[in-house]
Structure 1
Amino acid sequence: MVFSLPLSLLLLLSTATATAAATSAEAPSSGNTTIYDILPLYGLPPGIFPDTVTSFSLSADGALSVNLSGPCQVDFDYLVSYDPTITGFLHYGSLIGLSGIQARRFLIWFDVDRIKVDLPPPSNYIYFDVGWITRKLEVDQFLTVHSCKSSCRLSSTVNRAFQQAKDFFTGPFW
């Protein structure tokens, strides 16, 4: 049994693959190229990483290393924490084998293993894989690059709990 893809889809995939391959060869040597420029070429939104990226390297095999000015957190639908160095592999539509990104659900931090989008672009959703659990988020919140917040997980958790308690006792029911 032979499967055939429409010619337009084959052209789209070959163009994306060629662009991604050319970019991976050029990225480490180009001083003006940023990670925010590279991600859309791979079908990913630019706001996956915070605004504190100081450098990055991308090898021909897709190995990616992103350096931040320090640890930080960004509030999406989930609070996401970034280590000063994030590593993984960049492929068209996904970042796999990630190290250095965690997402918080309730009071528990989970390592993000993979970030992916639906293909072909444009995608409405972005997916964070944390172990065997996948969290689907609206891609719109990743279209812009976000500023970092304090990275102290304990004080952030305590502050949020305090604010929730304060809102509960001063809310409209009292």
Structure 2
Amino acid sequence: MEYFSSNKTRVCLTKLICFFIMFWLSLPFSFSSYFSIHDLLVSRGLPAGLLPKEVKSYTLSENGTLEVFLDGPCLTKYENRVFFDSVVRANLTYGSLIGVVGLTQEELFLWLPVKDIIVDDPKSGLILFDIGVAHKQLSLSLFEEPPDCKPQGILKNQVRKEKGFVAVR
């Protein structure tokens, strides 16, 4: 039994399928209602824990620009302390975040902006952070789980207490 009894039916069906495909492709790439940011990172060859749990939403444009919106600026710690602005932007490609804006890392008492984050070879177990003046390789295991990110004053107070100092404000 032939489902398409005429060329006219096939042409109409083809046009309908093309219409739905074009409609779907014309929608903005806002996957946040479908995938968490952490799932998106993993699907693009990056560890889920690169961004904190406190991400409210994100957008991913057709050209790969990723914008991540947090509840507010916050601090967390991987190997060193890291500060996230309330909006973090980067170009997302497979295995990398290039041109990062809104993320700084503490190195030897200096806060340096993170420029790029790259996982060249997941089998190596390393992730590369380009902080402008240097490239820093860290273990991917530090980024397995999304960290808690605290408002700036809370984490600083906890760090000072750990080192034997009491924060006075």
TM range (shorter): 0.7 to 0.9
- From the superposition, tell whether residues 125 and 32 of structure 1 become closer, same or farther in structure 2 (CA, over 3 Å): same
Q: Quote the offset at 1:164 in angstroms.
A: 2.7
- From the superposition, tell whether residues 29 and 42 of structure 1 become closer, same or farther in structure 2 (CA, over 3 Å): closer
Amino acid in the other structure paired with 2:115:
D
**Partner Cα distance (2:162, 2:146) in 1:** 26
What's the counterpart of residue 28 of structure 1? 30
Aligned residue for 1:152, secondary structure, equals helix
**Partner Cα distance (1:48, 1:65) in 2:** 14
What's the counterpart of residue 53 of structure 1? 55
Alignment partner of 1:38 is 2:62: no
Give TM-score, length-normalised by structure 1: 0.72
Gaps of 5+ in 1: 1-24, 167-174
What's the counterpart of residue 129 of structure 2? 128
For these two proteins, the number of residue pairs brought into alignment is 139
Q: Quote the offset at 1:30 in angstroms.
A: 5.5
Amino acid in the other structure paired with 2:59:
S
Larger radius of gyration: 2
Work out which of the residue numbers 97, 100, 104 in structure 1 matches 2:99: 97
Identity across the alignment (%):
32
Give TM-score, length-normalised by structure 2: 0.74
What's the counterpart of residue 149 of structure 2? 148
> In 2, are the aligned partners of 1:118 and 1:124 still within 8 Å (CA)?
no
Amino acid in the other structure paired with 2:137:
K
- How do 1:65-144 residues align onto structure 2 when only pairs under 5 Å count? 65-119=67-121, 121-144=122-145
What's the counterpart of residue 20 of structure 2? none
> In 1, are the aligned partners of 2:72 and 2:151 still within 8 Å (CA)?
no
Amino acid in the other structure paired with 2:43:
L
Runs (4+) of structure 1 exceeding 3 A deviation are 158-163
Amino acid in the other structure paired with 1:107:
F
Aligned residue for 2:145, secondary structure, equals coil
Gaps of 5+ in 2: 1-26
**Partner Cα distance (2:124, 2:42) in 1:** 12
- From the superposition, tell whether residues 29 and 139 of structure 1 become closer, same or farther in structure 2 (CA, over 3 Å): closer
**Partner Cα distance (1:29, 1:106) in 2:** 38
**Partner Cα distance (1:159, 1:39) in 2:** 29
Q: Quote the offset at 1:40 in angstroms.
A: 1.0
- From the superposition, tell whether residues 51 and 30 of structure 1 become closer, same or farther in structure 2 (CA, over 3 Å): closer
Aligned residue for 2:33, secondary structure, equals coil
Q: Quote the offset at 1:58 in angstroms.
A: 0.4
Q: Quote the offset at 1:26 in angstroms.
A: 7.6
